[in-house]
Structure 1
Amino acid sequence: MPAPQQNLRRSLMKNWFAVEAIPIYVIIGGVVVGASWYLGRLATGSQVVWTKKNPTPWNTIKQDEGTKLLTVNQKFEKSWSRDTL
C-alpha cells in the first residue's frame, strides 16, 4: 500500500474509531431508535387512517352518538366506534 493511503487510513481510524467518540455513537443510536419507535407508535394509533375505503369518517356519525372519550354532563344513547374505515 502506498504511504499516502496508509496515512489516510490511519487518520480515519484515529478520528472515527477513537474511544472518546463511542458515547456520541451510543447517544445518536439511542436517539434514532427512540425516534423510530415513537413514529411507529404514532403511525399505528387509533386516530390514523391508512385506507381510503372511507375518506370522510366524520360523515358516518349520527346525531345521538358521542365521539368523545370523556363526556361531562352529556348522555348519549350510543357511542361511536370506528368499525368501518
Structure 2
Amino acid sequence: MSVRFQAIPIYTIIGGVCVGASWYLYRLAMGPTIQWTKTNPTPWNSVKPNQTTKMMTVGHEADSKWSREKL
C-alpha cells in the first residue's frame, strides 16, 4: 500500500476538525452575549438598577422591559 493512501484518513480527520471548529466559532459569535453594534459598545452601563435583562427570572417583578438594538 502506498504512502498516499495511508495519509487520506489523516487529511479527512483534520479537515473535519477544522470544519467543526469553524462552525462552533461561528455559532458562538452569533450568540446573544456578543455585541456587534457600535452605537453602544458598553450596553451594561445603560442598565438601570431595577431593570432586568434576563429572559426568565423566578419570583421577580420587572417594572420595564429591556430591549437591544438590532444590526
- So what's the TM-score if we normalise by structure 1? 0.66
- Aligned-CA RMSD value: 2.0
Provide the aligned length of Structure 1 versus Structure 2: 70
Distance verdict in 2 for CA 1:36–1:44, change over 3 Å = same
Offset, 1:64: 3.2
Give the structure 2 partner of residue 21 of structure 1: 7
1:9-63 CA distance string (max 9 Å, x none): xxxxx54xx2222111111100000100111111122211133321221122223
Which consecutive residues of structure 1, in runs of 5 or more, have no partner in the other structure? 1-13
Picking from 43, 56, 63, the partner of 1:70 is 56
Structure with a larger share of its residues in strand: 1
Structure with a larger share of its residues in helix: 1
- So what's the TM-score if we normalise by structure 2? 0.77
Offset, 1:84: 6.8
Which consecutive residues of structure 2, in runs of 5 or more, have no partner in the other structure? none
Residue identity (%): 56
